[in-house]
Structure 1
Amino acid sequence: MDKFVLTRPRNVAAWALKAKQRPLVVGNAPYASPPKGHVAIQVLDIAVNPIDWIMQDSDLFALKYPTVPGLDVAGEVFEIGEDVSDFHVGQRVIAHCNGYSANDASHGAFQKYTIVPAHAVCELPYRIPTSVGVVLPLGISTAAAGLYQKDFLALPFPSEKPDTLGRAVVIWGGSSSVGSSCIQLAKASGAYVITTCSPSNFSYCMKLGANRVFDYRDKDVEDRIVEELEGKTVAGAYHAVGADGAVQACARIVDRCKGKAIVVTVRGVPVEGMPSSVRAKSISSSSIFDNDVGPYIWRKFLPKALESGTIKPAPEPLIVGEELRSVQLGLDKQKAGVSAKKVVVTNIS
């Protein structure tokens, strides 16, 4: 009986009716039953990411309009598609929606009912509120894309009791949403983690598992990180956040150290200022679902890691409002900038 819904629910969404439209318009939306390999989620909370306001401002991916933006949801499984056997109706979950990559409004996050591939859904322990768990999805996927894919840092997959890797990872921007997931995943892979942030977030990054934390604004930060890496072998650097020049700083650091001269970045690769010996690659979070990284992280590792506390939802949610009418406020708040927080809108359904 879990696989069938007898009555179709009334769906409502925060729509982008055309490119670069603001504000989003809240209105009725069709309910779509999940196709094979997918689940329908009744959304309780959504989180806002930088890509969401960037999409609103620039139409970066040239989507079909009208569409429903958003990537991060937490809620309950409402309906199950064919060939999905590891979820049940009513189960509490978090999920990484694929509305942008699928170019399909029914897969967007900012609505009461959304469709998500089952391999991008994770059970949420009852002790974790949905408004807290929702901070994780895109951060986890983006972190995993840079840390584990073969052409990127290629770390061994994380586990709850990792062996010491004997490699160091430099994470630029450890207090960001992506950086917070990077620290935790890299530690779960046994890496020695060095990160940067502002001094006010030093203790935050240490609690997540960073071995050493440096002030990214320190004029000697590159020299200090290289000194810390003396005698260690680097697996590369992960640029999670940072203004102009941060990718080049990461590249100069790995260029001066023993190990893998690679920088992965959530931004574009700079044309100038990069050492010729350093390889740089841009990260796409959705790429992990084209290989074994996504299914491993989301279906094998993350459910147990959340249950055991190996992975903690981070950063803390910054709840800016309730219901879909508050989504535009969330976009504007995220665009204005937050530190060691994730913008969240609650009570969607």
Structure 2
Amino acid sequence: MQWAILLPQLSGEVRCDQFNVLLVLTVSLGEIKGLGAYATYTLADEKISFKVPDTVSSPSAATVSLAACTAWLALYSDRCLNIGRASKESVLIWGGSSSVAQFAIQLASIYGLNVVTTCSPRNFDLVKSLGAEHVYDYKSPNVTELIRKDVPDLKYVFDTIGNEDNSSGLAAKSGNPDCTLCTVRPGLVNTEGVPDTVKRVDVMIWTAFLKVVQYKGHEWPKSQRYRELGAELFENIPKWIAEGKFKPNAVHQMTGLKSVPEGFQLHRDGKISAKKVVYQI
């Protein structure tokens, strides 16, 4: 089945009153025949859409799809960290208050993983409420030593920031030769300084959307396997929301396309923290 609805305005998300469904492909270029946007009607694959509960607003729902699926693939796909969902392993989620990391913390906690994370002290309570067991100030000069001391069995690191100067790679050097670092930066950008003993992987959300992605000489093939993994996530999200196990990001809402440059500048100035900018068109 496909959802077909009139797209009256260009937007990152659309709510259909009859089915109350958030579409996740409304800004697709339409490479997949029969799916995509930029047309009178927008068609989306129901497998990678989810029913939005009445308790969740459209702006809040718009924060979920891409960020949550990125976190899901990073944690559980065999191309990335491939953590066993019944393993009770520890995972370091670097940049815990970011959009992707907030979902990663929740998705790890749902399956009983021991979540270790870093963020600014002002967001400690937030990430703990999402399920983090160990929280550290990412600016602390000895943060990697503290993590190694408190979580000596650390084998999995998910870097949701990927800046040149963050130390997630150093934190991955836990002394465990089986350690794996997954970054959100395509092509393993900014992981050059990670020790050779650490396995490096990256996560690419579009593998779950049956799209081949090419970027700066790197290619990520489309994957039916990852599509089914993504479909499992979207099927579970409404139930997890109802059970109080999963919640969208907090929203910083802005209005109109003219506000987009302002939103980018807010990010540059460091004025957006633990929130997702959503534009109402």
**TM superposition score normalised by structure 1:** 0.66
Runs of 5+ consecutive residues of structure 1 not aligned to the other structure: 1-36, 46-67, 78-89, 158-162
The worse-fitting range, judged by mean Cα deviation, of 183-192 and 127-136 is 127-136
What is the aligned partner in structure 1 of residue 172 from structure 2? 254
Matched, 1:107 2:36: yes
Identity percentage of aligned residues = 27
Alignment coverage as a number of residue pairs: 260
Please list every run of 5 or more consecutive structure 2 residues that lacks an aligned counterpart in the other structure. 210-222
* 3-state SS of paired residue (1:234): coil
The equivalent of 1:297 in structure 2 is 233
Matches within 5 A, 1:264-279: 264-268=182-186, 269=188, 270=190, 272-279=192-199
The alignment's TM-score, normalised by the length of structure 2, stands at 0.81
Partner of 2:241: 306
* Corresponding residue of 2:277: 343
Separation in structure 1 between the aligned mates of residue 245 and residue 70 of structure 2, nearest angstrom: 18
Query: Superposition pairs for residues 211-290 of structure 1, below 5 Å?
Result: 211-230=133-152, 233-246=153-166, 249-258=167-176, 260-268=178-186, 269=188, 270=190, 272-289=192-209, 290=223
How far 1:73 sits from its partner (Å)? Answer: 1.7
Q: Deviations over 1:250-294 (max 9, x none)?
A: 233233244731111111423631211111112111113422311
Q: Give 1:330 shift.
A: 4.3
Q: Distance in 2 between matches of 1:40 and 1:332?
A: 35
Distance 2:8 2:145 in 1: 46
Q: Deviations over 1:55-79 (max 9, x none)?
A: xxxxxxxxxxxxx7x7x424116xx
Q: 1:135 maps to what in 2?
A: 63
- Cα distance, 1:333–1:271 mapped onto 2, change above 3 Å: closer
In structure 2, what is the equivalent of residue 75 of structure 1?
Answer: 15
Instruction: Name the CA distance, whole Å, in 2 between partners of 1:178 and 1:40.
Output: 28
Checking the alignment, whether the CA contact within 8 Å between 1:237 and 1:250 is kept in structure 2 is: yes
Distance in 2 (alpha carbons) for counterparts of 1:205 and 1:195:
8
Q: Counterpart in 2 of 1:177?
A: 99
Name 2:49's counterpart in structure 1.
121
Q: Is 1:96 matched up with 2:24?
A: yes
- Greater Cα radius of gyration, structure 1 or 2: 1
1:39 aligns with 2:9: no
**Post-superposition offset of 1:103:** 4.6
How far did 1:332 drift? 5.2
Q: Is the 8 A contact 2:162 2:183 kept in 1?
A: no
Contact (CA 8 Å) 1:172, 1:179: kept in 2 or not? yes
Please say if residues 162 and 185 of structure 2, whose CA atoms lie closer than 8 Å, have aligned partners that are also in contact: no
Change in 2 beyond 3 A, CA 1:175/1:120: same
> Over the residues paired in the alignment, what is the CA RMSD in angstroms?
2.9
Q: Whole-Å Cα distance in 2 between the matches of residues 212 and 255 of structure 1?
A: 17
